[in-house]
C-alpha cells in the first residue's frame, strides 16, 4: 500500500489551481448554466425566502365610497427554497502516489490528477445543467421499451434523453403508476443496474451481463434515476429546475415551497403557451403575444432555450438573411452562441427537453449556493485531496449546496412546440 498523509497532497491544489478554482471549467459547453446568474449567499439551512406577490391593492372604483369599502392590501406569499446537496467524487489508485514519490512519475501523476479533476467538474456541471431544466423528482428519462436478457437493453421514450447517461452510471427505477416522485422499485434481486454502453443516436442503453427484469423488475414507462437522486416517496434530493418553477400545465393548489400557486397560476407559476398546432415559423410570434395576454406586459429581455434539433428546424424554416448569429456575454466572462429571428433570441441547449422551448428573462432565474460552489470539499484539512489508506485510493470530493430559484417567476415561459 502507498504511504502518505493528507498533507502530502496539499501541493496538488497549488499545481492544479495556481490561481484558485476556475469556475469557467464548470460551465464550459453548458449554455444554460453559463447564462444563469450565480448567487453565492445561500447560507441558511432554513431555506431562502423569495417574495411571491400576485395581486395589487384592489380598493378601486369610479365611486369613492365603493373604493373605500372594497379596499384591500397587496397580496403575496413567499417561496421557501430548501438547500439541496450534490456530490461527485474523484478516485485514483494509490500506486500513482508511490511511483511519484519514489521515482520519476510525478508528471504522470499530476497529468492524471488534472484530467480526473476536470472530468469531475464536467460531471457535476453537466448534472447542474440537466437539473436546471428538469424536475426535483430527479428522473433522467422514461423507458420506452426494453429487452430483458443476459445483456439487457432499454430504448428510451425520448431518444435525446440518452445524453443524460454515461457508461458506469448506476441507476434505479420507479413505476410510472407511482409518479415521478414515487418509491424506487424493490422487487428485484439487487434493484440497481449499471449502464455499460450508451448510444445517443438511437437512445439505447445497454446493461451487460444484467437481466434487468430479474435484478430490478422493470416495466415499460418506468422512470429512470441515477442511484441516490430519486425522491423515493420523500422529500426532493436534487435542485428544482424550470420544470418545477414553470410547469407545462397550470399548477394546482398543492403547495410548492409553501405557496399555493393556483390563486394566480401565471404570476406564481409562469406562462404556458401550447404551440403544438402552430407552424415552427409562427410558434414564437404567437408565444410572445400569449405572454403579453397572460401577464399584461411585454416579454422582457431574455432568451428562448431550445433543443438543437429545433434550432435546426428554425434555421431551415427561415431565410438565412433573417437569422442573425451573435454571442451573449455571461457573468462568467465567457460568451455563449445565440441566434436571433424576428427579435427573439435563441440559445441551443442539448439539455433542453425535446419538444419544448424555455423562455427565461435576464435575471429571472438564478442558481444559489453556499459560497462559490460547487467546489472541492476541504474535508476539514484545507486540502482538496486525501489518501484513503484502507483502500489505497487518492480521493477528492466536489460538493454543491444550493438550489435553483426564480426571482421573477412571472418572467418565465414554457412553449410546447409543434412536431418536427
Please report, for the chain, the start and end positions of each structural domain, with discontinuous segments joined by +: 19-136+239-420, 141-226
As a whole number of angstroms, the distance between CA 101 and CA 80 comes to 50
Give the distance from CA 175 to its chain's centroid.
Answer: 22
20: confidence class by pLDDT, cuts 50, 70, 90: low
For residue 89, pLDDT beyond 90:
no
Per-chain mean pLDDT for the chain: 87
**pLDDT of amino acid 379:** 46
Are 348 and 308 in contact by the 8 Å Cβ rule? The answer is yes
**How far apart are alpha carbons 207 and 44 in whole angstroms?**
41
DSSP-based three-state secondary structure for 129: helix
User: Looking at residue 13, what is its pLDDT?
Assistant: 56
User: Is-contact 224 124, C-beta < 8 A?
Assistant: no
Kindly indicate the confidence band of residue 106, based on its pLDDT and cuts at 50, 70 and 90: low
Q: State yes or no: pLDDT of 378 exceeds 60.
A: no
pLDDT at residue 56, rounded to an integer: 81
CA distance 417 to 311: 12
- Structural Rg of the chain based on CA atoms: 24
Helix H or strand E segment including 123? helix 106-133
**CB contact at 8 A, 98 and 2:** yes
**pLDDT score for 319:** 79
Q: What is the mean pLDDT of residues 408-419?
A: 97
- Mean pLDDT across 185-207: 96
Question: Are 376 and 120 spatial neighbours (Cβ–Cβ below 8 Å)?
Answer: no
Q: How large is the average pLDDT for residues 299-327?
A: 91
Q: How far is CA 348 from the centre of its chain?
A: 15
**Per-residue pLDDT for 2 more than 50?**
no
Q: State whether the Cα torsion 160-161-163-169 is positive or negative.
A: negative
- Specify the DSSP class assigned to residue 393: E
Residue found under cell 431551415? 316
33, 165, 392, 116 alpha-carbon torsion, rounded to 10°: -40
Residue 364: which of 415, 407, 301 has the closest Cα? 407
Q: What is the pLDDT of residues 34-81, one digit of tens each?
A: 999 999 988 877 788 998 888 888 888 888 888 888 888 888 889 999
Are 299 and 319 in contact by the 8 Å Cβ rule? The answer is: no
What pLDDT is stored for residue 44 in this prediction? Answer: 76
Listed in sequence order, the residues at least 6 apart from 346 whose beta carbon sits closer than 8 Å to its beta carbon are 303, 304, 305, 306, 311, 314, 338, 339, 340
pLDDT grade for 101, boundaries at 50, 70 and 90: low
What value does the mean pLDDT take over residues 10-36?
72
Report the alpha-carbon distance of residue 122 to residue 54 in Å, rounded: 39
Query: Does residue 353 contact residue 296 with C-beta atoms inside 8 Å?
Result: no
Alpha-carbon distances of 56 from 31, 267, 356, rounded to whole Å: 36, 12, 32
Largest CA distance in the chain: 92
Any idea what the Cα angle at residue 242 is, between residues 178 and 298, rounded to 5°?
A: 135
| Residue-wise burial string across 80-95, b where 16 or more C-beta atoms lie within 10 A, e elsewhere | ebbbbebebebebebe
Q: How many CB atoms lie within 10 A of CB 72?
A: 11
Structure confidence at residue 269 (pLDDT): 96
- Please give the residue that has the higher pLDDT: either 14 or 354: 354
Residue 383 has pLDDT above 70, yes or no: no
Least confident of 117-126, 182-191, 387-396: 387-396
Lowest mean pLDDT among 15-24, 181-190, 334-343: 15-24
CB 56 within 8 A of CB 383: no
- Res 266: pLDDT: 96
Residue 123, C-beta contacts closer than 8 angstroms, at least 6 positions apart = 88
Amino acid at each position: 500500500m502507498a504511504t502518505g498523509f493528507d498533507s502530502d497532497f496539499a501541493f496538488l491544489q497549488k499545481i492544479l489551481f495556481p490561481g484558485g478554482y476556475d469556475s469557467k471549467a464548470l460551465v464550459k459547453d453548458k449554455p444554460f448554466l453559463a447564462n444563469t446568474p450565480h448567487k453565492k449567499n445561500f447560507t441558511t439551512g432554513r431555506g431562502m425566502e423569495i417574495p411571491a406577490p400576485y395581486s395589487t391593492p384592489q380598493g378601486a372604483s369610479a365611486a369613492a365610497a365603493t373604493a373605500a369599502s372594497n379596499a384591500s392590501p397587496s397580496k403575496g406569499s413567499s417561496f421557501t427554497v430548501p438547500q439541496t446537496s450534490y456530490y461527485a467524487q474523484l478516485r485514483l489508485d494509490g500506486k500513482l502516489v508511490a511511483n511519484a514519490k519514489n521515482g520519476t512519475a510525478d508528471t504522470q501523476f499530476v497529468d492524471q490528477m488534472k484530467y480526473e479533476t476536470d472530468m469531475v467538474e464536467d460531471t457535476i456541471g453537466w448534472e447542474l445543467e440537466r437539473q436546471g431544466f428538469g424536475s426535483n423528482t430527479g428522473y433522467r428519462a422514461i423507458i420506452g421499451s426494453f429487452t430483458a436478457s443476459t445483456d439487457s437493453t432499454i430504448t428510451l421514450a425520448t431518444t435525446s434523453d440518452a445524453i443524460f447517461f454515461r457508461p458506469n452510471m448506476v441507476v434505479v427505477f420507479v413505476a410510472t403508476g407511482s409518479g415521478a416522485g414515487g418509491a424506487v422499485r424493490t422487487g428485484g434481486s439487487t434493484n440497481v443496474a449499471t449502464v455499460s454502453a450508451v448510444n445517443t443516436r438511437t437512445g439505447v442503453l445497454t446493461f451487460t451481463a444484467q437481466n434487468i427484469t430479474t435484478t430490478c423488475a422493470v416495466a415499460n414507462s418506468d422512470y429512470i434515476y441515477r442511484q441516490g437522486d430519486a425522491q423515493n416517496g420523500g422529500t426532493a434530493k436534487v435542485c428544482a429546475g424550470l420544470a418545477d418553477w414553470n410547469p407545462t400545465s397550470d399548477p394546482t393548489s398543492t403547495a410548492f415551497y409553501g405557496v399555493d400557486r393556483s390563486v394566480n397560476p401565471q404570476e406564481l407559476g409562469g406562462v404556458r403557451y401550447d404551440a403544438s398546432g402552430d407552424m415552427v415559423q409562427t410558434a414564437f410570434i404567437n408565444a410572445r403575444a400569449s405572454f403579453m395576454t397572460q401577464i399584461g406586459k411585454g416579454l422582457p429581455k431574455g432568451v428562448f432555450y431550445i433543443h438543437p434539433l429545433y434550432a435546426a428546424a428554425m434555421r431551415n424554416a427561415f431565410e438565412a438573411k433573417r437569422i442573425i448569429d451573435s454571442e451573449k456575454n455571461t457573468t462568467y466572462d465567457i460568451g455563449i452562441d445565440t441566434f436571433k429571428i424576428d427579435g427573439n433570441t435563441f440559445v441551443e441547449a442539448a439539455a433542453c427537453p425535446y419538444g419544448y422551448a424555455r423562455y427565461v428573462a435576464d435575471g429571472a432565474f438564478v442558481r444559489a449556493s453556499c459560497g462559490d460552489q460547487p467546489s472541492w470539499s476541504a474535508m476539514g484539512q484545507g486540502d482538496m485531496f486525501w489518501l484513503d489508506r484502507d483502500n489505497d485510493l487518492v480521493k477528492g470530493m466536489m460538493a454543491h449546496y444550493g438550489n435553483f430559484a426564480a426571482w421573477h417567476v412571472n418572467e418565465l415561459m414554457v412553449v410546447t412546440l409543434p412536431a418536427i
